[in-house]
Amino acid sequence: MNLPRKTWLMALPLTALLFACTEQTTSKTTTDGNTTTTVSETTTAPDTTAAASAVQEAGDTASAAAASAGQAVDDAATGAGAALGLNAPKAPYADGSLTGAGASFPYPLYSKMFDEYAKETGVSVNYQSVGSGTGQKQIIAQTVDFGASDNAMDDEKLASAPGKIAHIPMALGAVTATYNVPGLAEGTELKMTGPVLADIYLGKIKTWNDPALTKINEGVQLPALPITVARRSDSSGTTAVFTDYLSKVSPEFKEKVGSANSVNWTVGSAAKGNDGVAGLVQNTPGSIGYIEEAYAKQNNLPMMAMENAAGEFVKPSLEGVTAAAAASELPEDMRGSVTNAEGAGAYPMASYTYLLVYPEQNYAGRDKAQGERLQHLLQWMLTSGQGYHEGLSYAKLPDAVRDRALETVNGMTFDGQPMNPMQ
């Protein structure tokens, strides 16, 4: 179904499909184009009336956010554009459309970028924020022009694809630890360490006044309130970044839970998407959750200062994720992690977010024009489009990383022949 550009921009996928029941396994079937994907999910949550009420309220919150998020994105990015003085070549076509699917982590940024791109070129981009895991599956199945993921595809997934897939970094962002603790003194900002956060998500720390938390937050009167753990129900790049960090700082977490888009949680209430977890935390007193920074700001949720590898407590910021990237080196294929990076000022739960494409565009019945549309979109996102990041709480790419990404994009081919590389 082809929706008008403004319609799909406003139709944000803020569907907080939350689960507040005892552990159960469900089967969910979604259809995207010609592809039907069935996902089995196991969720564990308290069997309480309060939890059920929180689910309903979270859904209401998500619906309200959907009505205003498009305007919020517009307001935040006013005056950005090609502020960096970088410009893509002229678009080869003034019509047509592209389709992508994947990560919710960069959705506020991509919404703005794709809307502006359509205004400039006449080419619409329909992006489905369905989670990194689904984005990876759809690019492997070749049912979208591009996938999107916050974590890199592993060797096994890449080997299952019918052709080579390239990872194109587009932005840097922060995964935040957010919370809802009533009764704190005005202006109180909580601190957190990786090992303590891991113990919360292992179910070992159960109340907010646990000695491990009061020790970190000296002088703060934390209540004797049960902790409700909020987590993702879908296959999620945000989960991959979060669990990658916790696995680096907690050997027990690495052994019992591990790092992936989907992991076997033993505690918590589950919600779909960054927006769903934000809604669950917002409506559940005593809760803690992990979401991308832009979603925390959009929902006026507090963000913890996290202890980094240098022993500093650092809040999410553009400077913090940029410092993490500067302290980390991406391999040649640009699949890399920047969590728990060394160096002063580095925010520990930082991540690149990627677009996933086939460098050879002659596949699955595509014509050269579609390949050229995709190549130009990527060129624009890596040049003019980089001006939209900071107003939306994402960091633009380091120059060296952007140049490497452009080299990959300019090398895209159709039937082995170059298309429209930038001069």
Please tell me the predicted confidence (pLDDT) of residue 403: 95
For the residues 42-58, what does the mean pLDDT come to? 43
For the residues 212-233, what does the mean pLDDT come to? 97
Examine the pLDDT at 15 and tell me if it is beyond 80.
no
Please tell me the predicted confidence (pLDDT) of residue 423: 64
End-to-end CA, the chain = 36
Q: Are strands 124-129 and 97-102 parallel, antiparallel or unpaired?
A: parallel
For the residues 330-347, what does the mean pLDDT come to? 95
What's the mean per-residue pLDDT of the chain?
85
Domains of the chain as residue ranges with CATH? 5-10+71-172+352-418 (3.40.190.10)
Q: At 421, is the pLDDT very low, low, confident or very high (cuts 50, 70, 90)? A: confident
For the residues 71-90, what does the mean pLDDT come to? 53
Helix, strand, coil percent content, the chain, rounded in steps of 5? 35, 20, 40
For the residues 113-118, what does the mean pLDDT come to? 97
- Residue 393 DSSP symbol: T
Examine the pLDDT at 117 and tell me if it is beyond 80.
yes
For the residues 230-237, what does the mean pLDDT come to? 94
Please tell me the predicted confidence (pLDDT) of residue 170: 98
Distance CA 15, CA 37 (A): 18
Examine the pLDDT at 21 and tell me if it is beyond 60.
no
For the residues 280-284, what does the mean pLDDT come to? 98
Q: Could you report the per-residue pLDDT of 154-199, keeping only the tens digit for each?
A: 999 999 999 999 999 999 999 999 999 999 998 899 999 999 999 9
- Which pair of structure tokens corresponds to residue 211? 């000695």
Please tell me the predicted confidence (pLDDT) of residue 57: 53
Examine the pLDDT at 312 and tell me if it is beyond 90.
yes
Output the DSSP codes for 258-324. Answer: --SSS---SS-EEESHHHHHHHHHHTSTTEEEEEEHHHHHHTT--BPEEE-TTS-EE---HHHHHHH
For the residues 109-116, what does the mean pLDDT come to? 97
